[in-house]
């Protein structure tokens, strides 16, 4: 446990990276990736992991249920609308959890009730009471039942209080106050939280869920804490819808760095795992952390100014309000090269926040030594990229068997790709205006011939993992199926890593295509289930 984490911590950290964080456009995760993030959140020692929205798809249900089954020592939450079908699926997914946490919600502001749900206030009250009571009965007296009044900060205060009163009467043990559209400012949000705490604080834990549309999510969350909230809903790296959610790392370190502002308040988070969590989430979602991001940005503990450098050398406290070590960074360096042994690599991995042993260590060691043969220096970033890419590798439906490409100055490129798609092998040639374009065109033809759709490239990003002419190249792509268009189209993120940038580009594009295929399978299963239940296909709802 962190030296800062208290055994009698009284502030509950509710991490919603796998639910609200994943709703950031382009941040979709596979089941295997969600499980890997959940394992890191267990190491981080958050109190609650909101694993997802089980009613949205078979894949999402599988992810929530698997996380609920595997996770020990941390509560697992599932989100559900106050609508027939959602709570039942959430309860089914949570039954295997050691500590189930059902999170039901309904909109409460007049603008949402009128224009989105098209129901009255009374109907909202009845729906909330009904499904909270259902959850309490289904999961028993020891389960946590949380109720959220969506868009609470734009809700009539008298109706909001009436809604929370009905929720408590129906069996809710946590009342969440979401600033759904990031509308509040700290002073007014603190007052709202204080009113809810004064009225219901003895009957339920008061929680807050703040969005960052005005850049105030962390400030609002800390203001809520000062006014009696005792559950804080956050995301790693501040990920989430639109401008994101309150950042886990900022909230946790804000509490610890300013103890006089939060007297007798603490979390149980192991802060030394923050950097590892940040890097894993950034890698899997493809969302880079801005260099000047608080706590986890690349420049958060960097000092360029001569005056700053002089001060930090004499005493780090002159310009650092927390130590790098407190968030999982190391002040020392272990150099890894082709003559390094497994023990040295294992020590470096621990320094970087990964405790790896046995066959997993052997696999990473083999890749690191292979990389050291073609690079002068293997950096921390190189090692982390290898670890994070290998952590979520699973059996592929689209497998690369080989590729070749020819290209010349001022001319067209010719690429050949050989793939195994399911049980069928395809070898295709295509031309393009460069080697990557030619190979992507060949992949498109092979995939379309077997699956009936092809990947459509939405974004392509290339960056060096480390410095130097022999650096590994990391390619991140975002792709959608050619058969889906518009805002509702599923966009998949694919990663590729290699000292050969063409190879990295191919790997990234195929990883994105693989996710598209898994999403297509999941949607097909959802449609089959809906038809089997007697529903019309057009009535199968998507995740809101």
Q: What is the residue extent of each domain of the chain?
A: 12-285, 332-391, 398-530
CATH code, 12-285: 3.20.20.70
> What local confidence, expressed as pLDDT, does residue 469 receive?
63
Would the pLDDT of 394 be above 60?
Answer: no
Of 21-35, 170-184, 347-361, 366-380, which has the strongest mean pLDDT?
170-184
Cα–Cα distance, 125 to 159 (Å, whole number) = 9
Question: Are domains 12-285 and 398-530 of this chain identical in fold?
Answer: no
Looking at the DSSP assignment, which residues form a beta bridge with residue 457? Answer: 479
Instruction: Assess contact for 450 and 424: CB atoms under 8 A.
Output: yes
Percent of the chain with pLDDT over 90: 61
Which residue, 213, 185, 108, is CA-closest to 151?
Answer: 108
Which residue, 233, 234, 239, is CA-closest to 29?
Answer: 239
Higher pLDDT, 6 or 528: 528
Stated pTM of the model: 0.73
> What local confidence, expressed as pLDDT, does residue 245 receive?
96
Angle at 174 between CA 94 and CA 122, to 5 degrees: 100
Region 312-324: mean pLDDT is 62
Whose tokens are 């019309």? That residue is 536
> What local confidence, expressed as pLDDT, does residue 467 receive?
63
Mean pLDDT of the chain: 87
Confidence of residue 306 (pLDDT cuts 50, 70, 90): very low
Question: Helix 358-374 and helix 342-351: axis angle, to 10°?
Answer: 100
Instruction: Assess contact for 357 and 367: CB atoms under 8 A.
Output: no
Question: How many CB atoms sit inside 10 A of residue 246's CB?
Answer: 29
Confidence of residue 320 (pLDDT cuts 50, 70, 90): low
CATH code, 398-530: 3.30.160.270
pLDDT tens-digit profile of 328-357?
775 434 456 666 677 777 877 876 778 888
Which residue, 115, 123, 134, 187, is CA-closest to 159?
Answer: 123
Confidence of residue 436 (pLDDT cuts 50, 70, 90): very high
> Which pair of structure tokens corresponds to residue 182?
């990031």
Q: Is 253 helix (H, G, I), strand (E, B) or coil?
A: helix
> What local confidence, expressed as pLDDT, does residue 6 receive?
46
Give the single-character DSSP code of 245.
Answer: B
Confidence of residue 71 (pLDDT cuts 50, 70, 90): very high
CA dihedral 519, 524, 526, 528 (to 10 degrees): -170
> What local confidence, expressed as pLDDT, does residue 160 receive?
98
Give the single-character DSSP code of 540.
Answer: -
> What local confidence, expressed as pLDDT, does residue 177 receive?
98
Cα–Cα distance, 474 to 480 (Å, whole number) = 20
Question: How many CB atoms sit inside 10 A of residue 243's CB?
Answer: 15
Confidence of residue 3 (pLDDT cuts 50, 70, 90): very low
> What local confidence, expressed as pLDDT, does residue 341 receive?
72
CA dihedral 2, 273, 370, 31 (to 10 degrees): 140
pLDDT tens-digit profile of 140-183?
999 999 999 999 999 999 999 999 999 999 999 999 999 999 99
Which residue, 292, 291, 346, 353, is CA-closest to 327?
Answer: 353
> What local confidence, expressed as pLDDT, does residue 428 receive?
95
Higher pLDDT, 357 or 403: 403
> What local confidence, expressed as pLDDT, does residue 370 receive?
81
> What local confidence, expressed as pLDDT, does residue 544 receive?
32
Would the pLDDT of 129 be above 60?
Answer: yes
Higher pLDDT, 410 or 367: 367
Cα–Cα distance, 375 to 394 (Å, whole number) = 27
Would the pLDDT of 117 be above 50?
Answer: yes
Q: What are phi and psi of 538, to 5 degrees?
A: -70, -10
Region 272-290: mean pLDDT is 91
Cα–Cα distance, 144 to 153 (Å, whole number) = 24
> What local confidence, expressed as pLDDT, does residue 470 receive?
62
Region 359-368: mean pLDDT is 84
């Amino acid at each position: 446990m962190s030296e800062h984490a208290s055994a009698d911590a009284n502030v509950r950290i509710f991490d919603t990276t796998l639910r609200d964080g994943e709703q950031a456009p382009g941040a979709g995760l596979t089941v295997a990736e969600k499980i890997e993030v959940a394992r890191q959140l267990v190491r981080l020692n958050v109190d609650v992991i909101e694993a997802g929205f089980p009613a949205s798809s078979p894949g999402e249900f599988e992810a929530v249920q698997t996380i609920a089954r595997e996770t020990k020592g941390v509560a697992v939450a599932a989100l559900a609308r106050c609508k027939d079908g959602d709570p039942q699926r959430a309860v089914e997914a949570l039954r295997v959890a050691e500590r189930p946490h059902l999170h039901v919600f309904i909109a409460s502001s007049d603008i949402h009730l009128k224009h989105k749900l098209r129901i009255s206030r009374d109907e909202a009250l009845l729906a909330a009471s009904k499904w909270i009571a259902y959850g309490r009965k289904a999961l028993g007296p020891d389960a946590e039942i949380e109720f959220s009044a969506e868009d609470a900060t734009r809700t009539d205060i008298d109706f909001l209080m009436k809604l929370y009163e009905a929720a408590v009467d129906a069996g809710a043990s946590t009342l969440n106050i979401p600033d759904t559209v990031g509308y509040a400012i700290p002073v007014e949000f603190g007052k709202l939280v204080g009113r809810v705490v004064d009225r219901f604080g003895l009957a339920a834990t008061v929680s807050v869920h703040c969005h960052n549309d005005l850049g105030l999510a962390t400030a609002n969350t800390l203001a809520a804490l000062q006014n009696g909230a005792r559950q804080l809903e956050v995301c790693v790296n501040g990920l989430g819808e639109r401008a994101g959610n309150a950042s886990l790392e900022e909230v946790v370190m804000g509490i610890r760095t300013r103890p006089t502002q939060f007297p007798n308040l603490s979390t149980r988070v192991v802060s030394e795992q923050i950097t590892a969590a940040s890097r894993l989430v950034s890698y899997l979602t493809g969302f880079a952390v801005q260099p000047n991001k608080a706590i986890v940005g690349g420049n958060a503990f960097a000092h360029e100014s001569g005056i700053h450098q002089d001060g930090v050398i004499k005493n780090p406290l002159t310009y650092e309000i927390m130590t790098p070590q407190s968030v999982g960074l190391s002040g020392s360096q272990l150099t890894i090269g082709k003559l390094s042994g497994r023990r040295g690599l294992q020590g470096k991995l621990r320094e970087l926040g990964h405790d790896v042993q046995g066959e997993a260590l052997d696999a990473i060691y083999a890749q690191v030594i292979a990389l050291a043969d073609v690079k002068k220096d293997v950096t921390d970033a190189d090692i982390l990229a290898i670890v994070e890419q290998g952590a979520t590798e699973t059996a592929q439906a689209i497998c690369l068997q080989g590729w070749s490409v020819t290209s010349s100055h001022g001319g067209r490129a010719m690429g050949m790709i050989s793939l195994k798609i399911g049980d069928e092998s395809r070898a295709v040639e295509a031309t393009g205006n460069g080697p990557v374009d030619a190979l992507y065109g060949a992949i498109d033809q092979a995939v379309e011939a077997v699956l009936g759709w092809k990947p459509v490239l939405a974004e392509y990003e290339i960056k060096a993992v480390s410095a130097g002419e022999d650096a590994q190249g990391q390619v991140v792509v975002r792709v959608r199926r050619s058969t889906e268009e518009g805002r509702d189209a599923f966009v998949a993120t694919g990663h590729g890593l290699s000292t050969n940038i063409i190879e990295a580009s191919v790997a990234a594009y195929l990883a994105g295509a693989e996710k598209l295929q898994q999403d297509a399978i999941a949607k097909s299963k959802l449609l089959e289930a809906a038809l089997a239940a007697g529903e019309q296909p057009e009535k199968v709802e998507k995740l809101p």
